[in-house]
Structure 1
Amino acid sequence: MSRFNVAPRAVMMVVCMWKVASCMRFDLESGHSKCITEDIKMNAMTVGKYSLINPNEGYPMPDDYKLTVKVNSPQGHNYHHSDHVESGNFAFTAAESGDYSTCFYVSDLRPPRTMVIDFDWRTGFAAKDWSSVAKKGNIEAMEVELKKLLDKIASIHEEMFYLREREEEMQKLNRSTNSKMGTFSFLSLLICLSVAGLQFWHLKSFFERKKLL
């Protein structure tokens, strides 16, 4: 493969990965909780939408079908908290980089029940509502696509810098660990030599007292 084809393919792979959003449906038994984490970089926009699935389609939702939802930052700051709701949404701009967690909790019921939850979590480029952008600006379809591509390129550029920063942090950590391991090895060797010297001195003194030397 020619080296000139590698970069475009890598960019396309990143673009395809960037389009993926955390859309999911999962089961949660009453009395239990489930947390979902997402690695979000600083200043990235994120939006989420969640709802309980009605087990009896065509009928009202049961009164005891309620959720408690919390969204916390890596440092434990709360960005969203809803108690005993059937559905909800959240949106914020990340003030710090790291793993953000969305935790769902269902109260203990008797008899126990399993509830189905729909959850859509989007960050960065995927969090933008381009339909509203086109509507507000009265922009033609081609212009919207161009704006999408420009925003996507900017997002990839920011992601590259973010990954580079994470790599530098890991390199610093590796260098620090190697330095500590080298110091520890040197001290271990010094201690071993000191113990061996003390043993030799003790044995020599013992044999001299016994007049064996």
Structure 2
Amino acid sequence: MLLYCTLLVFVFFPFRASAFYFYGYGGDRKCFLKELSKGTLLKGSYSLGVYDEKLGDYALPGDKDYGVVIDVEEVFDNNHRVVHQRSSPSGDFTFLALESGEYKICAQSQVNNWVGKAKTKLEVGFEIGSEAMLDSKRKETLETLHGKVNILNSKIMEIRREQQLVREREESFRDISESVNSRAMWWTVIQVVLLILICVWQMKSLRSFFVKQKVL
């Protein structure tokens, strides 16, 4: 009966979650041991807090002043280090056990600049599951990326349609402008011709008038 209940726990709760709090000072290294079987996925997250006297509590520091170093070592293989990660005061890490045995997981707060010996609180949480969890995460990530690509493609197609509409409107406006300019030019030419004809007619009329009056 006990074995049956245990199997039910692993079926309905395939991932085990744990969390730790480490108090100390900048530069302190804290480690804990974990027995992992081959193919086990360990996904961890961490957050470093530095004591703020004004707030009276621990607050997340800036990336320029503090960082966190995560190390995973194989105890069964003479503490062979398989993970070494340096990053900001908060983040996550993922590790897949390639061999069964005891692993040492260490987190160290790192002072990037000289800011004094401040009190720190390092929170480390992790989930332990199977390699299928990693494959599932990858599949979800790929599906998410695929969805984003589809959204980008639809936006690009929409932008292309808008650009095509703008080009069509520009072509229509250009045709109308050319037609108006052509009509205006011909109207100007007609006006000039009419003015010349009127001037010629007036000159002939005046000449005829002066001849009748015997002025010329």
Q: TM-score range by the shorter chain?
A: 0.3 to 0.5
TM-score (norm 1): 0.47
TM-score (norm 2): 0.47
Q: Between Structure 1 and Structure 2, whose CA radius of gyration is higher?
A: 2
